Chain A
Amino acid sequence: MMHRYKNYRELGESVVIYADNYINDIEGEKLEDLCDLFLKKGSRRIIIDFSGTDLVNSIGVSILIGIIEKIRDKEGDIVFSGLKKSNHEVFDIMGLTKHIQIFDKEEDAVRQEGRGSQQLNPPVV
């Protein structure tokens, strides 16, 4: 069963979260809260999609690192998708790209997980 709500969409045990235009401390913490929420609800795989994100600052990235730690501690899986080149470069400089799988598009990330077993609907942002 698939839920669609605001800046995320649920795909069974997976969830796609759509990051804001600017990831700073405030927006990073919002992402963190959402991830906590879905982990509690039993989501095992979280996809954060950055296709709508123009800028990420270093504090925002540090919160993303915390999110990755938290999800892995709970034996969940997290991947990123839709990064702009400049944001990819920031993640690369900070060494994050070595630790997380990054897909060009959200669909690729979902397909990798779902192996075609789930029907995809476009996200509602």
Chain B
Amino acid sequence: MAKRAIFSVCPEAEFFGRDPLIDHIVDHVVNPSPLAPNMLLVGRRWRGKTEVLRRVHAILFREHTAVVPIYFRIRRYDVLTDLADDFIREVAKQYAAFRTRDEAFATEEITLERLEKELIDSDPAGVVRFLRSHREARERDPISALRGSLAVPGAISRSSGVPLFLIIDDIGRVAEVTGPGGRQVLEDLVYALATGPSRFLASSDSVSCLENTGGADTEVVNMGGLDEETAIFMLAELCRVNRVRFDAEVLRQLARKLDGCPLYLKNMVRAARRVGSGLADMKETASIYVQEITSGNIAFALRGELQLRGKDELRCARAVASADKKRNPHIPVTVEGLEEMLLLEAGSLAAPVERLVQARLVDNSLGTLTWTGDSAEGDFIDYMCDVSVGSRTPEEARTSMVRNFLKETYSLRGVSGSLASGGFTKDVTRVIESFDGQKVPFKLFSNRGFPGGEKNGISKSGSDESRRAGEGDTELPIVIGSFDSHRFEKNETGPAILLARGFMGGRYDTSAEVVWAVGVKEGVNPVNVGDVANFTRRLSLLRENFRTTRMVKWITSGVGFTGEALDMAFKEGILTSGPKELRALGDLFTCAGKPPAGELRAVIPDKEFEVTLPSTSKAELVAARAVEEITVDMGFDERSIGGIKTAVVEACINAFEHGKPSTGKVHIRFITSPGRLEVRVENTGTNYLGHAETRRALEGEDREKLPRKRGWGLELIRRLMDEVRFESIPGGTRVVMVKYLIKEGEPGE
């Protein structure tokens, strides 16, 4: 069994995968490269840098005599003299400990005065003289005292003839703990180390500490989390020792999710043991993870380390992390953009961003922000934000995190929805993956019960029984992922069936598990009896793969159903949705959060009107007149009608202005439902979702000057309508505007 390190480290049984790195570092110290005699270990927090440095120190102390190892961990300092005191004390104490081979003395807590007295009788290298000089210097000038203390290792090396080897842990922290001049102090420190006679090994979370300090003679070693296999091995070993049940595939997902971070891995196993659970399936693992991130040891460690203070810090961190998850490099997150998005005054995010940079969560490069935190830190921020800034209760936030964890691990396993079919299939996939425990009118899953039916005589028949079925509300599952049926149907040549796995009632246990099997009918023909029979036959075979799980059967069609097909589906207990129901579902899920059932019901369309405008002068007036007719009929007041007309006119003008000159048409759809009007204006051409206009509009106008002349179109639309969103569609842009009917006596305007 290996002898323990001199400075405290974790038990050997919990230390995995770093031995080759330690061997490399020791070899580097004993046989230094003339080109790069120094070394910098770079890695995120809690990846094990301190463990490695302390183990290297112990090996050099006990097994080698070529250098005197001095381990120095940078702490939080308020004043420079504390840093100088600590540094010279550690150098003097550990040098004496090495000379006398007294390991205990190396770690002894001792004051400078006491140290001076201890060393006075045996001081061949003149250490006491350095301590006295330092004591005098610190009274006069803290900077001189620090520079003097940094020179001491070189002086001792010269007088003793044995070089001192400095092991500086978390060197970058100097910049953050000594006030505004911290960066200069860090540069002085690294410069003194790099140019002095003593070599050094340091750790930091970034290489930036070498900037401007002549770091060319320093070998940089990147230290990430444990590689996947090592992390799995570590998890499995810890599970075995702690008698925690595990599944190899679950451990693999966990190792990936936690970025191989030893601290996270250990705490997951300990938490599983503590609650008497296991890491044997994703559901219980998700539950333990969320417990750890929100109120367990990981949460405690993150809270202490990140020291996030304000709501703006949380909102800013979440926005940057969220952009990183979407991984869209074309939309950089800027400080200015965030201030605009969060409706804050210009410059108000400067301090929060600086704090996030210090917390190593965000990188700020000339005002462009990137997320540098890991996945667990992102989840922690999400939770904190949900609970302290958002409107979710802790329980709701935890449920959401469990769901995201399951979704993410599904995605990591590569089984997320992958139906290789047309646009309608993708639309259906999007809809079902948006299922999040909402309550929706059952008629959205009963084609016959839906108002308006389908066109061209399709779905005209159907029994009274099937007609009556479309009443009441139904609760959707929380879907965690979807995949197609091909893996289970090797000889099946028909279109794949979409299989979506989820949980009911926000509970992630087996009894709440459900699979939605979705038949997707592409093409121009309605679903007929043959399609329903084929779907039923295949499901009876697929059912074998989901014996213990409840299965919901659903057929969707981009065209509609024949009456016979609807009757047959009803008898087989199959849900049915046509294009209108799917569109209504899609609209429901684009609403933020979970709107109340009343609001959900409100978006089910009563009537739809379509207008296509040619690119001619005043064509937008046709749309204005159409919407006037509709809004008068709905009961809007005169002022609202005028506002809606103006918004529609502005949307049409934008659509014409940015549309393709060759086609030049603008398509408008008016969708009415009780108390709600939705207008969609589409063009084909360039995307005109300009944010600059919004920004200009939000800037304070000079009261003395007249307003700017151009760039008001989108602002008017936003101000005159209740909801506005801009969507990129294939080859163009769609503006969706919603206005709610406020009746007299209702709260509103």
Contact = CB atoms under 8 A, between A and B. Distances in A.
Interface in A86-110: 86-87, 89-90, 93-96, 98-99
Given A26-B617, A84-B642, A86-B639, A93 B709 contact: no
B618 A22 contact: yes
A56 B620 CA distance: 12
A18 B649 CA distance: 22
Interface stretch (A1-9, A40-48, A57-65, A111-119): A57-65
Nearest to B628: A54
Contact of A95 (B645, B653, B701): B701
Given A86-B639, A93-B715, A95-B701, A55 B706 contact: no
Nearest to A22: B621
B713 A58 contact: yes
Interface string B642-661: 11011001100100000000
B24 interface: no
A90 B716 contact: yes
B707 interface: yes
Contacts of A96: 706-707
B706 A69 contact: yes
Contacts of A57: 620, 646, 649-650, 653
B719 interface: yes
A90 B709 contact: no
Contacts of A62: 709-710, 712
B624 A66 contact: no
B641 interface: yes
Contacts of A61: 712
Interface in B681-726: 701, 703, 706-707, 709-710, 712-713, 715-716, 719-720
A58 B650 CA distance: 7
A99 B639 contact: no
Contacts of A87: 642
A59 B716 contact: no
Contacts of B638: 84-86
Contacts of B713: 58
Interface residues of A, number: 27
Given A24-B618, A55-B624, A66-B709, A93 B642 contact: no
Contact of A86 (B621, B645, B707): B645
Contacts of B707: 65, 94-96, 99
B706 A68 contact: yes
By DSSP majority rule, is chain B's interface helix, strand, loop, or mixed? Answer: helix
Given A55-B624, A58-B716, A61-B712, A90 B618 contact: no
Contacts of A94: 707, 712, 716
Interface residues of B, number: 27
B607 to A, nearest CB: 24
A97 to B, nearest CB: 10
Q: Which of B701, B706, B710 has the most CB of A within 10 A?
A: B706
Contacts of B716: 58, 90, 93-94
Interface in B18-51: none
A76 B716 CA distance: 30
A56 B712 CA distance: 12
B621 A90 contact: no
Interface string A11-39: 00000000000101010000000000000
Contacts of B642: 54-55, 84-87, 89
Contacts of A85: 638-639, 642
B16 to A, nearest CB: 63
A89 B643 contact: yes
Given A22-B621, A65-B706, A86 B653 contact: no
B650 to A, nearest CB: 6
Contacts of B646: 55-57, 86, 90
B649 A98 contact: no
A115 to B, nearest CB: 28
A96 to B, nearest CB: 6
B709 A65 contact: yes
A36 B713 CA distance: 27
A86 B636 CA distance: 13
Nearest to B654: A58
A90 to B, nearest CB: 6
Sorted nearest first, the 3 A-B pairs with minimum C-beta distance are A86-B642, A62-B709, A95-B707
Interface of B: 617-618, 620-621, 624, 638-639, 641-643, 645-646, 649-650, 653, 701, 703, 706-707, 709-710, 712-713, 715-716, 719-720
8 contacts: A22-B618, A55-B646, A57-B646, A65-B706, A66-B709, A84-B638, A95-B707, A98-B703
